[in-house]
Amino acid sequence: MSTSGLRRLAGMAVGWGLSLLPAAVLAQEPSRPAPGLDQKAAIAASQAAVGRTIGDHTLLDRENRPVRLSSYRGKPLLVSFIYTGCFQVCPTTTRSLDETVRALQGRFGDNQFNVISIGFNQPADSPQALKAFAAQHRINRPNWDFLSPPLPVVEQLTREFGFRYEATPAGFDHVLQVSLVDAQGRVVRQVYGDKVPADALGEPMKDLLVGIPLSPSTPLADLIDQVRLLCTVYDPETGTYRVDYGLALEAAGGLTFIVALALYMLNEWRTRRRARRKPQPA
């Protein structure tokens, strides 16, 4: 292959490669180690909460009314922790949980369990802020409350649920978990991730409703390998959360080169074919 051909191929690969990548990827610098939670320690603390009875804390609902956690006993309870200043992951997980709650209500009925989302970033996660958050994401289910704990209660409450979080310059890095609490107020299962599949909660919910003891959850080591837990991949250079596109970039780069090479070879073949067909002077 000629030098000029290689230059053309490189130019084609770069041009096509850039056009195939999302703008968010192009704007990123090479990834750097991100501050945040220790994943193994976060999962271990979360799993250690399984079997623990939650204390009878008093929080405020969206209308600034006091609500005791003991008032939810008698039915299974789903508990998530959020902060209203999050504009990416917390809204995504809340909407995913809403879809799951809809599916669970279709299976078990509207009044068989309750849901609460707790704003842990105090005093910013006030009753008014949580009310606006719920309205923005169209969460208006009779069995779903958004609760604001007093600042002195936050540390004990999050510790009891095994919920770990850490402040960053742009918000919080925190565990993505939904806790399943039984009718006696005990944490019986932790479900992780930014998507909350209905089947992950449906089977244990069914067992709770009919009084069957829950089977052991996934071993801790398997959870560490299988689940992306943290709210963020925080980029301190940009002050934003981002997705780690490293593997996708490598795959896209290889695919781009193969496509560029194939197109270059096709173009060369067409050029030579036209040259052979061109009439020769007499």
Residue 134 domain flag: yes
Of 134, 136, 142, 152, whose CA–CA distance to 59 is shortest?
A: 152
Domain identity same for 22 and 88: no
Predicted model pTM = 0.68
Domain identity same for 263 and 153: no
* HEC per residue, 142-210: CCEEEEECCHHHHHHHHHHHCCCEEEECCEEEEECEEEEECCCCEEEEEEECCCCCHHHHHHHHHHHHH
pLDDT tens digit string along 222-280?
Answer: 454 445 455 544 344 444 444 433 333 344 445 565 766 778 788 888 888 777 776 66
Looking up tokens 């804390």 gives 57
- pLDDT (mean) for 154-158: 97
**Contact (CB, 8 A) for 182 and 188:** yes
Which pLDDT score, from 0 to 100, does residue 6 have?
A: 43
Domain identity same for 262 and 213: no
Domain identity same for 138 and 152: yes
Domain identity same for 108 and 8: no
The total of structural domains in the chain comes to: 2
How far is the first Cα of the chain from the last one, in angstroms, to the nearest whole number? Answer: 31
Residue 34 domain flag: no
Which pLDDT score, from 0 to 100, does residue 280 have?
A: 60
What burial class does residue 18 get, using C-beta atoms within 10 Å of its C-beta: 0-12 exposed, 13-18 middle, 19+ buried?
exposed
Domain identity same for 198 and 106: yes
Which pLDDT score, from 0 to 100, does residue 238 have?
A: 47
Domain identity same for 132 and 234: yes
CATH number, domain at 47? 3.40.30.10
Residue 282 domain flag: no
pLDDT, mean over the chain: 77
Residue 148 domain flag: yes
pLDDT tens digit string along 80-108?
Answer: 999 999 888 899 899 999 999 999 999 99
Domain identity same for 48 and 139: yes
Domain identity same for 209 and 268: no
Domain identity same for 11 and 75: no
Domain that holds residue 271: 3-28+247-277
**Contact (CB, 8 A) for 144 and 101:** yes
- pLDDT (mean) for 2-8: 47
Which pLDDT score, from 0 to 100, does residue 1 have?
A: 52
